[in-house]
Amino acid sequence: MNDIAIQVSNITMKYRLASEKVDSLKHFIIKKFKKEMKYEDFYALKNVSFSVNKGEMFGIVGMNGAGKSTMLKIIAGVQKPTQGTVERKGMIAPLIELGAGFNGELTGMENIMLNGLLLGYSKKFIKEKLDEIVEFAELGKFIHTPLKNYSSGMKARLGFSIATVVKPEILIVDEVLSVGDFKFKEKSEQKINAMTANGTTVLFVSHSLGQVESICDRVLWLEQGCVKEIGPSKEIISKFKNS
């Protein structure tokens, strides 16, 4: 267990969905008051178990709706599962929702301060690392422009730069590297590889199967919320492509 960074045990995530279409809020309230609303259970994840080793680059693949993002949110502590447990060893930096914690009215520079504080960094630490963050994000003069004028790629660059400046024990990356230009993707991959070499554990989700195959050690394949298979990245990606 000493070599395990993340232990996921029997995670199930169940949602209750209305099984009939309700056209208006008034109609919904009336039916709910009369206890006429019918619900059905939807399982985003069903009895999922796996472990990730310290310093490992671990990928998760699956079709849309397979439960990948839900799994990452549960590991990050953003969502609580219906049942099951997650044990994490070390500080987590989640890059899950693009621009989460950003304020569109504030400049890039102001958002570095805001986002850094939300991630638990001290003001002193953020000020010391400010130049490093700005330089890595490659935003130039736009760093003093309100974030609402940024493209999704620019926001991704800023979010990645802030989250990785601390060298967290666990880094969670969800589709962040799929936006932005090729040069920045390469630079981000190099930074992630350097972090894993220094012991950081990385959980990685991307629609780019080539990217997952090239940088991940092992891959978890989720299908309709269940574990289909876990194994070496090349083997699992090959099976997934041919499924």
pTM metric for this prediction: 0.77
Residues 133-146 pLDDT 10s: 999 998 989 999 99
The domain spanning residue 36 has which CATH number?
A: 3.40.50.300
Is 26 within a domain? yes
Q: Per-residue pLDDT for 147 more than 70?
A: yes
Q: Name the 3-class secondary structure at 142.
A: helix
Q: Which residue segment(s) compose the domain that 141 sits in?
A: 101-167
CA dihedral 205, 207, 208, 213 (to 10 degrees): 50
Pairwise CA distance, residues 210 & 204, whole Å: 13
More confident of the two residues 178 and 225: 225
Q: Which helix (H) or strand (E) holds 53?
A: strand 39-53
Q: Per-residue pLDDT for 77 more than 80?
A: yes
Residues 6-33 pLDDT 10s: 999 999 999 877 666 666 676 666 666 6
For 114, 155, 203, the CA distances from 95, given in Å and listed in that order, are 15, 11, 10
Residues 217-240 pLDDT 10s: 999 999 999 999 999 999 999 999
> Please, is 141 exposed, middle or buried when counting C-beta atoms within 10 Å of its C-beta (0-12, 13-18, 19+)?
exposed
Is 6 within 8 Å of 87 (Cβ atoms)? yes
Number of compact structural domains in the chain: 2
Pairwise CA distance, residues 190 & 124, whole Å: 27
pLDDT tier at 180, thresholds 50, 70, 90: low
134 and 61 in a common domain: no
Residue with tokens 């800023």: 158
128 and 49 in a common domain: no
What is the Cβ-side half-sphere exposure of residue 134, based on CA atoms within 13 angstroms? Answer: 18
Cα R_g (the chain), whole angstroms: 20
For 61, 192, 204, 239, the CA distances from 233, given in Å and listed in that order, are 10, 17, 12, 10
pLDDT of residue 54: 92
Give percent of the chain with pLDDT exceeding 90.
46
Is 197 within a domain? yes
Give percent of the chain with pLDDT exceeding 70.
85
Mean pLDDT of the chain: 86
